[in-house]
Amino acid sequence: MTENNSEQRLDFIRQMVVEDNKSGKWKGRVATRFPPEPNGYLHIGHAKSICLNFGIASEFGGTCNLRFDDTNPEKEEQEYVDSITDNVKWLGWDWQDRLYFASDYFQQMYDFAVHIIESGKAYVCDQTADQVREYRGTLTQPGKNSPFRNRSIEENIDLFERMRKGEFADGTKTLRAKIDMAHPNLNLRDPIMYRILRATHHRTGDTWCIYPTYDWAHGLEDSIEGITHSICTLEFENHRPLYDWFIDQLPIHHPQQIEFARLNLTYTVMSKRKLLQLVEQNLVKGWDDPRMPTISGMRRRGYSPESIRNFCTLIGINKFNSTIDIALLEHCLREDLNKTSSRVMAVINPLKVVIDNYPDDQTEMLDAVNNPEDPSAGIRKVPFSKVLYIEQDDFMENPPKKFFRLSPGREVRLRYAYFITCTNVVKDSAGKITELHCTYDPATRGGDAPDGRKVKSTIHWLSAKDAIKAEVRLYDHLFTSANPDDVPEGKKFTDFLNPDSLKTLDNCFIEPSIANAKPLNRFQFERLGYFSVDIDSRPGKLVFNRTTTLKDSWAKIQQKPTADLI
> What residues from 361 to 420 belong to the interface with ligand ATP (CB under 6 A)?
none
Q: Are strands 174-177 and 433-441 parallel, antiparallel or unpaired?
A: unpaired
Beta bridge partners of 125: 174
What values do phi and psi take at 361, rounded to 5? -100, 10
Return the range that interacts with ligand ATP (CB under 6 A); candidates 264-272, 324-332, 356-364, 502-510.
Answer: 264-272
Find the binder of ligand ATP among 48, 67, 195, 546 (CB under 6 A).
48
Cα 119 from Cα 272, distance rounded (Å): 38
Q: Which residues contact 246 (CB under 8 A, 6 or more apart)?
A: 116, 177, 215, 216, 219, 220
Orientation of helix 214-224 relative to helix 106-118, angle to 10°: 110
Q: Binding to ligand ATP by residue 91, rule CB under 6 A?
A: no
Cα 521 from Cα 526, distance rounded (Å): 16
272 counts as catalytic: yes
Q: Considering the complex, state which of residue 232 and residue 353 has its C-beta at the smaller distance from ligand ATP.
A: 232
For 432-501, where are the E strands, in sequence order? 433-441, 458-459, 462-463, 468-475
Q: Binding to ligand ATP by residue 313, rule CB under 6 A?
A: no
Contact between residue 187 and residue 238 where contact means Cβ atoms under 8 Å apart: yes
Give just the sign of the alpha carbon dihedral 445, 446, 448, 450. Answer: negative
Cα 111 from Cα 250, distance rounded (Å): 11
> How far apart are CB 50 and ligand ATP at their closest, in Å?
8
Q: Considering the complex, state which of residue 235 and residue 506 has its C-beta at the smaller distance from ligand ATP.
A: 235
> How far apart are CB 490 and ligand ATP at their closest, in Å?
24
Q: Binding to ligand ATP by residue 444, rule CB under 6 A?
A: no
Q: Which residues contact 549 (CB under 8 A, 6 or more apart)?
A: 528, 529, 530
Convert residues 25-44 into a mask of x (bound to ligand ATP by CB under 6 A) and - (unbound). Answer: ----------xxx-------
> How far apart are CB 499 and ligand ATP at their closest, in Å?
25
Q: Considering the complex, state which of residue 288 and residue 394 has its C-beta at the smaller distance from ligand ATP.
A: 288
> How far apart are CB 300 and ligand ATP at their closest, in Å?
19
37 counts as catalytic: yes
Binding residues with ligand ATP: total (CB under 6 A): 14
Q: Considering the complex, state which of residue 272 and residue 291 has its C-beta at the smaller distance from ligand ATP.
A: 272
Q: Binding to ligand ATP by residue 262, rule CB under 6 A?
A: yes
Q: Which residues contact 439 (CB under 8 A, 6 or more apart)?
A: 355, 356, 357, 420, 421, 423
Cα 508 from Cα 265, distance rounded (Å): 32
Return the range that interacts with ligand ATP (CB under 6 A); candidates 158-166, 265-273, 364-372, 539-547.
Answer: 265-273
> What residues from 173 to 232 belong to the interface with ligand ATP (CB under 6 A)?
232
Judged on CB neighbours under 10 Å (0-12, 13-18, 19+), 58 is middle
For 392-463, where are the E strands, in sequence order? 411-414, 419-427, 433-441, 458-459, 462-463
Q: Binding to ligand ATP by residue 233, rule CB under 6 A?
A: yes
- Nearest residue relative to ligand ATP (C-beta): 45
Q: Considering the complex, state which of residue 47 and residue 414 has its C-beta at the smaller distance from ligand ATP.
A: 47
262 counts as catalytic: yes
> How far apart are CB 43 and ligand ATP at their closest, in Å?
6
> How far apart are CB 332 and ligand ATP at their closest, in Å?
16
Q: By the criterion CB under 6 A, which residues form the site for ligand ATP?
A: 35-37, 45-46, 48-49, 232-233, 262-263, 270-272
Residues marked active site are found at 37, 262, 272
